[in-house]
Amino acid sequence: MTYEPEKYVADILCAAGGRLVSRIRLQKIAYLLDQLGAESGFDYSYYHYGPYSRDLDSAILDAKAFHLVKEEYGYRKSDGARYSVFVHQATAKGHSCLKDDRLKDVTRRLASKNVTVLELAATAHWLAAVEKVSDWKSEIRRRKGSKTEEGRLDEATRLLAEVGLPPAVERAPHSPQS
């Protein structure tokens, strides 16, 4: 397969329903898809919001230049901070770097999740699988602080279990019924 990173960006947007809000969301979805076998060819390193790829940032620029995606901007009501909104362009139809329907389904599922939950899921996977931190829960709480509260870390680990990525959610053992 010829590796075309700009088309991979368009494929993610297409599978996500044609629209994604936030660069962080796009980064985390791409990372998790690669862990499931998408084979984008992107290199990742740990950055402030978890796994991050400069290659993906470059691919976004190329996808925009080839009119595969459009980047618009929105502004948060709470503080006016700007965020990106990526829109799939019609010219990208018909191509797919996402190998199978499972990856497309996972993309839709990930796209519907809270961006902080995605950040935590990608970071939990990174800590457990890449950095091999045995007590990844303590480490993620140290790095991410209050983002891990209000059930978000539990939701992130459940999401990883649902898509088949480590670290596994610890489950209480079944007690025999009397």
Domain regions of the chain by residue span: 5-163
Cα-Cα-Cα-Cα dihedral of 110, 71, 27, 114, to 10°? -40
pLDDT band at 111, cuts 50/70/90? Answer: very high
pLDDT at 70: 96
pLDDT at 156: 98
pLDDT at 89: 87
- Cα(41)–Cα(113) distance, rounded to whole angstroms? 24
User: Helix, strand or coil for residue 63?
Assistant: helix
- For residue 16, give the nearest of 39, 35, 36, 33 by alpha carbon: 33
pLDDT band at 23, cuts 50/70/90? Answer: very high
73-95 pLDDT per residue, tens: 999 999 999 999 999 986 555 55
- Cα(88)–Cα(71) distance, rounded to whole angstroms? 9
Residues β-bridged to residue 45: 52
Residue 155 has pLDDT above 60, yes or no: yes
pLDDT at 100: 82
What is the mean pLDDT of the segment spanning 158-167? 95
pLDDT at 10: 93
pLDDT at 173: 47
8 A C-beta contact, residue 55 and residue 42: yes
User: What percentage of the chain carries pLDDT values higher than 90?
Assistant: 83
Residue 169 has pLDDT above 80, yes or no: no
pLDDT band at 178, cuts 50/70/90? Answer: very low
pLDDT at 97: 62
